[in-house]
Structures are given as C-alpha cells and as structure tokens.
Structure 1
Amino acid sequence: MNISQKQKSILIILVIGTFLGFLNQTLMNVALPNIMSEFHIGTDLGQWMTNGYMLVNGVMVPLTAFLIQRLTTRRLYLTAVALFAAGTLIAGFAPNFPILITGRMIQALGAGVFGPLMNVVVMNLFEPDKRGGAMGSIGLALNFAPALGPTLSGLIVTNLSWRYLFLLVAPLIIANFILAYFLLQNIGEQKILKFDFLGVVLSSIGLGSLLYGFSSAGASDWSEFTVWGFVLIGLVVTGLFIWRQLTVKTPLLNMAVLKYRDFIIATLINVVLMIAMYGGAMMLPLYMQRVRETSAFVSGLVLFPGALVTAFLSPWSGRLYDRYGAKYLALIGIITTSIGTFILASMSLTSPLWLAVVGQFIRQLGLVLVLMPIQTEAFNALPLSLMPDGSAMFTTIRQISASFGTAALVTIMTKSSMGYADTHFSMIATRIQLHGIRVTFITAALLMLFAAALTYFLKTKNQKE
C-alpha cells in the first residue's frame, strides 16, 4: 500500500494510541486477584476494574460522533491521550482502591475516543480502494491488543507488581502524546453543531445500563435485578434515545446510517461475530485454569500464537479486502473460525495442550480474515459526511454485542453444566465444567455458521463497480 509520509505518520500515531487503549481492556483480568488481595476487597468491588472501564468506554462512544465533528482532530486526540495518560499515572500510584478505580475511569474517558476517531480519520485519508489496507493496520490495535493482554499481564504480574501494568504503559502513552503534538494534523472539516445534552444523558443511562446488566450476567443469575433490571432499563432508555435522535433537529447520533443496506448487513454479521468471539474467547482460559488447573501465565501462552497471527496478518487481510472485497473473504474467515472453534469443543480432560493452541490459532486466523474487512465494508457503504456517526454506531453495537455475547455464553455454560450434573451425580466437578465449556464452544461455532449464511447478502466487488 503506497501512502504519503503524512498519512503514515498519522496512522502510526493513531494505531499506537488505540493499541494501548484496547490493551487496557484485558490487562486487568489476570491481575485482579492480586489487586483484590492488596486492597482487601471482594469480587463485587474488584469486577469494577474491568466492568467500570468498559462502561465508561461504551458510554463515551456515541458522544465521539459529536466531538469528532465539533472539535479538530488534533485537539480531540491530544485531549483523549492526555486523559488516558493522567488516568494511567493515577492508577499506577493509587494508594487505595477508590483512587485506583478513579484512575481507571479517567483512562476509559480517553480510550473511548480512540477507536471511532481512528476509523473516521482513515476513511478521510484514504480512497475507497486503499481503505482495506489501512484498516488492516488498525486491526493490529483492535484485535491483537486484547488478545495480547492476558499473556502480557500474566508475565508482568508473575515477575513484578500489578502496578507495572500501568507504569509500563504510562511512558508509552506520554511518548504518543508528544508525537501527536508535533506530527498530528487536522483531518476533515469542523462543524458548528448544537450539543444535545438530553441525548447524552439518555445514551449514557441506556448504554451504561445495558452494558452493566450484561456484564453482571457473567457472575450473577438472570433472575437478579442487577441483571434483568438493568437490561430492561437499558432497553427502555436506549429506545427513548433512538426516538429522540430520530425527532430532534441536530441529533447526537445520526440514525440516517441505518438507511444504507450494506452498512446494516455488515453490522449484523459483526454482531454475530462479536457474540461468538468474545463469549467463546472466555471459555479457553476457563478450560485451561479450572479444568486443566494450569497457571494464568500458561493459559496466556496458549492464547499467544493466535494473538501473533492476528498481528502479522491484519495488514494482509486489509490488502485482500482491497483486491477481492468482503463477501468471499468473510465467508472463508468465518468458516475457518468455526473449524477452530469445533476443535476447541472436542477437547477432553487429557487432550494435549498443543490441541488447544492449534484450535485457538485456527480460530484467530479465521477472525483476522473477517473482522477488519467486514468493518471496512460497513464504513465504505457510507458517505464521508456520515462517517463519524457510522463509526460511533458500529463501535457501540460492537461493544454491546461483545458484552451480551459473553453473558449469554456464560449462561449457556452454567446451565448446561448444572443440567449435566443433575443427570451424572457421580461425575467429578472438572468433568461437569468441561461439559459446559464444550457445549458453549459448539454454540459459538454454530453462531459462526449463521454469520457465514449472512455473507450471502453482501455484494461482490464486481457488483459494486
């Protein structure tokens, strides 16, 4: 992909910032027991290290559609990076848990801007036939960072303190701020838009409640108010938010993006992918640590080859999209992911660990072929004027789908394990849990096949020309 020095500089700066933002989503998972032990807190408070970050991050996304159009690229990105850096330092030196959570929330305020802003900048910088390669580079941040998080976290927590998860990131994000200050240029045009305060309130309550309800379902029963109550509140208030966006003169989020058929189809495929991918990805560490009783670090090492293939092949998948389009590339990627997921579903109590490595590797190979191409396909369906709204809409739906997918598949695992235990009284606990994990992997694989069927509705590259 031939790009100018200006394009290359901007892309590198944004990819580094977004990489660090997405890395922070999964860095805390392995470190949580150490943090809980140091501050003498329970799981109910400890989960806010991940849930709180996700909530603030998710609430920020719709607001970025307004901010991207109202502020210059440079001012918005520098503000987001400064917030992320401040939150990182506060968390790294936090003397108690409330200050640690405060730092984590400030981090999320900045990180919520990175992804949508980067998408919009790339769409403005590159012509449609070059966007796939550029979005492939972005895949390094969006897909490699979360996959790398557990392995890196396990290595750091085992040899150093959990504080280094923040203190090692801090100089990197500060360096990114300095690079952006001197090299980042403004992209696109500013618009004078009226701020929809009520829209922000409704989206914050609606999306925040949905994300909290779904994330709570991972640890609680669906019959508890913290799950069904918040999901219900989220659905009602999000419905009010959508109604307001359709009726107000200057909406926070322009729903006109839903008039574009190809955007809707690509987004629907991504919804199914997120449900299967995030929910399924949670199962392998459970299998490694609870069923096979390996350490968190060994569990991370099993995931690492899959993370590496994501890093190396993301730019390549983007170039394939530029050449062939999304239809057949997405189909091949989804079927490959299904094969990897079925391999993981076949694992037993005595399966060699290399089988888990191979299954996860094939799964990630398939995902890298489909995730960024399907996202580029969605954005390419929109005119540049709707790109900020399309990016915010796509990212918001992606996060809700990931949260719901994790909750739904954890529920499937729990219920199937309980049902198996009721009919197999003499079975040991690990075998019962293994059954639940296998059922969940099979469910994820079947969801992937449903996503494969949806690719039928995508247009080929020739049909667009």
Structure 2
Amino acid sequence: MAFVLMLGAFIGLFSETALNMALTNIMVDFSINEAQAQWLTTGYLLTLGILVPVSSLIIKWYTTKQLVVVALVLSIIGTILGALAPSFSLLITARIIQALGTGILLPLMMNVILVIFPIQKRGMVMGLMGLVITTAPAIGPTIAGLIVDLLDWTYIFWLSLVFYSVLLVFGTRQIDNVSTITKPKISVISILLSTIGFGGLIYSLSTIAEKSLNSPQVLIPLLIGIISLISFIVLQLNLKTPMINLRVFKFSMFSLGTAQLFLGMVLILANAILLPLYLKGALFYSAAIAGLILLPGSALNAILSPVIGRAFDKIGAKKLVPAGFILIVIGSLLFVTTLSADVAIWKIIIANMFYFAGVSMIIMPAQTNGLNQLPRTMYTDGAAVMNTLQQIAGAAGTAIAITLMIQGQKYFMIDNPSAVAQEILAAGTKYAFYFITAVAVVGFISALFIKREKQ
C-alpha cells in the first residue's frame, strides 16, 4: 500500500522538474519565450500550493481508495492531454490537471504512512518517503534529458502515463481504507482565503524572475496573498473545526522541522533549475549528457535515503540534520569556487554529490522528527502544513535562484563588457550559489536546536 502511494507521488514529483530539460525544445515548438515557458513548472507548483492545504479536509470526507483512484485518473487525463497538446495553452492546462492528481497523492501518502506504521519503524519508512520527495525532482532532469535527445519531449508524458496506468489497474487493489471519515463542516471562506493566499504568494514569487520586485505584477499578488493568509490563520484559530488545525505549530519540534524542510526544498529546487541551464547554456552539453552529469548526485541521494531512515531510528535527527546542512555548504562552496565557462566536469559531479548527500540527511529526519511530536489526531493537519510549505519552498527556490542568476549576469556584464555569453551565464549561476550557501548556513544554525521528541 505504501509502495503504491510512493510510486504515484514519485511520478508526480518527477513531472515537477522533468520539463526543465525540454524548455528550449518547447519554446521552439510553440514559438514562446522563456518567461512563458517557465510557467510549465511554476504553474504546476502554483496548483499544488493551492490544492494541498485543502487536502486535509478532503481526506476527512472520502475514503483512501476513492482519493487514490481520483488522483490517478486526474494524473492520467493530464498526462494524455500534455502529450497530445496542440497549443501551449492546452499544455499549461494539462500541467494543472496533472498537479491536481499529485496534490491529492502527496498529503495522502504521508498521512497513510503515519497511520499504518508504528513509530519505532517510522524512520525507515519515512526514509523511503524522503527518497520519493527528494529524488523525484532531482532525477527528473536526468531522465528527461535522455528522453529529449533520444526521442521527443512528449515522451516524458508517455512514460508517466505507463506508470499511472499500471498503478490504476493493479495498484489500487492494494489500497485499504485507513482514514477516519468524519465529514467535518466545510468552511467555504477558509477554502477561498487559502486559495487566494497561497496562490497569490506563489504567483508573486514565480513572477519575480521576469519582473522587478517593485513591479505591480509582483507586489499586488504578494500583498493580496499576505492579507489573505493572515485572515486565513486568524479564521482557523477561531473555528471549532478548522480546515487545517494550525495549532500544530504549538509543538516546537514540529515548527522547527517544518522550517528545515522548507529550507531543504528551497535548496533542491534551486539546484534543479540552475544546473541544467548552466550545463546546457554555458558548457554546451546536450540534454542527455547534462542529465547524466547530474545522475551521480541523484543516485547517491537515492542510495542514502533508506540508510538515513534506519539511522534515524537509532540516533534521531539531532546528529543527522546538522551534518546534512554542512555537506550542502561544502557542495555549494565547491560550486562557487569552480563554476566557469571551462570547468572540468568532474568538479561539478563531486560538488553535486556532496550537495545531494546532504539533502538525504535533511528532508526525512527533519520531517519525521517534527511529525513524531504530534498526536495521532493531528497527523493529517501536520502533513498538509508540511506539504503546502514544500510547494511554496519550491516556487521560492526556483524564482529566487533565477532572479539572482539574472542579477549576477548583469553585474558581470558591467565589469566585463566584452565577455561572451557562456561566461556571463556561468558568472550568473555562481552568483546564485552564494544565496544557496547562505540558506544552507541558516539551516545548519537551526539544526543546533533539534531535540529528539518521543510521542
């Protein structure tokens, strides 16, 4: 049952970044620019950010099996439409439908795992879930690069369709109904405020890359989003049956774990957008070769995630999370000191391996240690909060990384007016990794306050 949910979530999260390697091809096919093309990723994140908060309510209204079937059907519809889309607008629509399926599966997976496994075995299982959450978006560009060069970008959708169809036909037989159906009262105002708040915030973050910070297209959605979120929080704290029980933040280790998970996802998505652009644009590698260069880091993360899960059961998050952030700091500093238009490729591979070894030691331990402090009745709310903030982190990491890369290119061009395009792109990428290093340092400091909580 856990495997079915994890595989479904893996394919959904793989789709989150898989098209990054195909953006240049899609731009040619549909005659669009970079600003339009990036919405294939940010639109996906925007939909997840809007839907995931509502998931805690959906889980209390429908059985586990019903939700899995609906999620897989939506994913299949979106995947087929994406593969056959004759226009860019239909391709965006397909991505939104895909994200609806993933937005149901993600929190459902976490909630089911928390319910069906005893706490003493939870570290190992959450390690596998960490493998899904971190490896899928990391390995997406690698697999997509091979597909784009050998076949066509539409086969990214066809590949996903095969897995979704197998899960729908065979996987749903393994699903039992483990959630408690309480059918709480639906607060329409809560849903509206949540949708406007998270949607406005993610839209604003996603627009920063193409507009300035003081642009009305950035500021207006940001202000509306913040006001809506504040109103949403106040309303949830005053409702007898809130859509999301925000009292989960009264538990200190849950709050700290959520913050570290947020920083971890910023680091993953920033890396996932920067390195493909750098490898293809500055070093002129094909999509397939660029994907293979990133593969060792992703593979190391995949190997370590279950190992870290077992280690968590023995030693907890207090030792693992600080070590993880230190490894990311080392990897980021290696990027900062080596990125150029003619760097030896082994240096990129080594830096990326340090980076993703660190990622494997952060996501699952921080997440599990935080959720372990919650009482069983709050699992659904805790999962919804963490999954929502993951999507916001993804949008923030992507948008800020691209914004800083563009800013770094501008600074480099001022100092080096005769520089060629690949040198400019390399300098911009290096500039963005200063920010990534700073995020990892903040994460390390926060990890010093971890305590091992027992339920």
Does structure 2 conserve the Cα–Cα contact (< 8 Å) formed by 1:276 and 1:445?
Answer: no
**Corresponding residue SS for 1:457:** coil
Deviations 1:59-87 (A, max 9, x none): 11001011112211111111111111121
- Which secondary structure state, in structure 1, belongs to the residue aligned with residue 170 of structure 2? helix
Paired residue secondary structure (2:229): helix
One of 402, 409, 412 as aligned partner of 1:417: 409
Residue from 89, 94, 107 that aligns with 1:116: 107
Give the drift of 1:421: 2.9
Which position in structure 2 is the counterpart of 1:430? 422
Counterparts in 2 of 1:103-182, with a 5 A limit?
Answer: 103-182=94-173
In 2, Cα distance between equivalents of 1:241 and 1:210? 13
1:193-245 alpha-carbon deviations (Å, 9 max, x no partner): 01111111111111111111111112332232222222222111111211221
Mapping for residues 275-354 of structure 1, pairs under 5 Å: 275-347=266-338, 348-354=340-346
Counterpart-to-counterpart distance in 2, 1:162 and 1:54: 20
Does the 8 A contact of 1:280 with 1:440 survive in 2? no
Q: Do the aligned partners of 2:48 and 2:388 also contact (CA within 8 Å) in 1?
A: no
In structure 2, give the amino acid aligned to 1:323: K
Which of the residues 253, 257, 265 maps onto 2:244?
253
1:293 Cα deviation after fit: 2.4
**Alignment-mate amino acid for residue 84 of structure 2:** F
Tell me how far apart the structure 1 counterparts of residues 318 and 78 of structure 2 sit (CA, whole Å).
41
Query: CA 1:181/1:432 → structure 2, altered by over 3 Å: closer, same or farther?
Result: closer
3-state secondary structure, aligned to 1:249: coil
Shift of 1:280: 3.6
Map of 1:7 onto structure 2: none
1:189 matches 2:180: yes
Offset at residue 458 of structure 1 (A)? 0.8
Aligned to 2:358: 366
Shift in CA distance, 45/446, structure 1 to aligned 2, threshold 3 Å: closer
Could you tell me which amino acid in structure 2 is paired with residue 357 of structure 1?
A: I
Query: What is the CA deviation profile of residues 113-144 of structure 1, one whole-angstrom value per residue up to 9, with x for unaligned ones?
Result: 11111111111111112111001111222111
CA distance in 1, matches of 2:419, 2:134: 38
Deviation, 1:51, is: 2.0
Separation (CA, whole Å) in 2 of partners of 1:92 and 1:13: 24
Partner deviation per Cα, 1:365-418 (whole Å, 9 max, x = no partner): 111111111111111111111111111111111221222233223333333332
Amino acid at match of 1:301: L
Taking the aligned partners of 2:163 and 2:436, their CA distance within structure 1 comes to: 36
Give the 4+ runs in structure 1 shifted more than 6 A.
none
Cα deviations by residue, 1:396-455 (Å, 9 ceiling, x for unpaired): 112212222332233333333323432344444433443332232133123212211111
Asked if 1:407 is matched to 2:416, the reply is no
In the other structure, the counterpart of 1:207 is: 198
1:229 equivalent among 209, 213, 220: 220
Instruction: Return the letter of the residue paired with 2:312.
Output: Y
Please identify, of 18-27 and 210-219, the stretch whose mean Cα deviation from structure 2 is larger. Answer: 210-219
Question: Mean alpha-carbon deviation: is it higher for 383-392 or for 274-283?
Answer: 274-283
Contact between 1:78 and 1:180, CA under 8 Å: does it hold in 2?
no
Distance in 2 between residues matched to 1:172 and 1:97, nearest whole Å? 24
Q: CA RMSD in A?
A: 1.9
2:322 & 2:230 partners in 1: Cα distance?
Answer: 33
Larger mean CA deviation between 408-417 and 102-111 belongs to 408-417
Q: Which runs of 5+ in 2 are unaligned?
A: none
Query: Structure 2: how far apart are the matches of 1:406 and 1:165?
Result: 21
Residue in 2 that maps onto 1:16:
7
Q: What is the identity, as a one-letter code, of the residue corresponding to 1:313?
A: L
Moved more, 346-355 or 372-381: 346-355
Shift of 1:305: 0.8
* Alignment partner, residue 376 of structure 2: 384
Select which of 71, 77, 82 maps to 2:68: 77
1:261 Cα shift? 0.6
What's the CA shift for 1:44? 4.2
Amino acid at match of 2:413: A
Measured in 2, the distance between the counterparts of 1:198 and 1:70 equals 18
Q: Percent identity?
A: 34
- Distance in structure 2 (CA, Å) of the matches to 1:391 and 1:351: 42
Residues in 1 aligned to 2:110 and 2:313: alpha-carbon distance in whole angstroms: 16
For 2:343, give the aligned amino acid.
S
Aligned equivalents of 1:250 and 1:14: distance in 2?
28
Maintained 8 Å contact 2:42/2:206: yes
- Selected match of 2:51 from 34, 46, 60: 60
- Which residue matches 2:260? 269
What is residue 88 of structure 1 aligned with on the other side? 79
SS of 2:209's partner is coil
Query: 1:85 touches 1:107 (CA, 8 Å); kept in 2?
Result: yes
The equivalent of 2:385 in structure 1 is 393
Q: Map 1:39-54 onto structure 2 (within 5 A).
A: 39-54=30-45
What is the DSSP-based 3-state SS (H/G/I as helix, E as strand, rest coil) of the residue aligned with 2:240?
coil
Correspondence for 1:440 among 429, 432, 435 = 432
Question: Is contact 2:53-2:244 (8 Å) kept?
Answer: yes
User: What is the letter of the counterpart of residue 130 of structure 1?
Assistant: K
User: What is the distance in 2 between the residues matched to 1:381 and 1:417?
Assistant: 45
Partner of 1:5: none
The TM-score normalised by the length of structure 2 is 0.95
Cα distance in structure 2, aligned partners of 1:76 and 1:165: 25
Counterparts of 1:346 and 1:260 in 2: how far apart (Å)?
Answer: 40
Aligned-partner Cα distance in 1 for 2:259–2:48: 22
For the residue of structure 2 that corresponds to 1:69, the secondary structure is coil
Q: TM-score, normalised by structure 1?
A: 0.93
